[in-house]
Amino acid sequence: MTTAHPPAPLPRDPGLQPERTALAWNRTALAVAINAALVLRAGALGGAPLFVAVGVLLLLAAGAATAYSAIRKRQLLRAVGTPPQSSSLALLLAAAVTLVASAAGIASILTIR
């Protein structure tokens, strides 16, 4: 009597998922960079150094998101089997940066004329 062995798992076909993930991080970085430019402009024209400082920090965060996008894409392309999960810290930081960018954008619209 022969025992049946479960079939060996097929190699993971990542398809376009790594590209979609990297593009999502790039879109986030682009949105933050555009918001940063608008906040910087509002701060410079309105004489508000706090907005200028926040704009610079948001530009740095956009650069970090772009770098993380490249790292994440490489991780996903090299993955065999189950893809590695995103870093909880990266997701938390992305959410925090998005909230700061939104708040700074709204504040610059409401306070600087």
Given this model, what pLDDT does residue 91 score? 85
Residues in the chain with pLDDT values less than 50: none
Give the alpha-carbon dihedral of 44, 45, 46, 50, to 10 degrees: -10
pTM: 0.73
Given this model, what pLDDT does residue 76 score? 76
Given this model, what pLDDT does residue 23 score? 82
Q: Which of 10, 11, 24, 2 is nearest to 68 (CA)?
A: 24
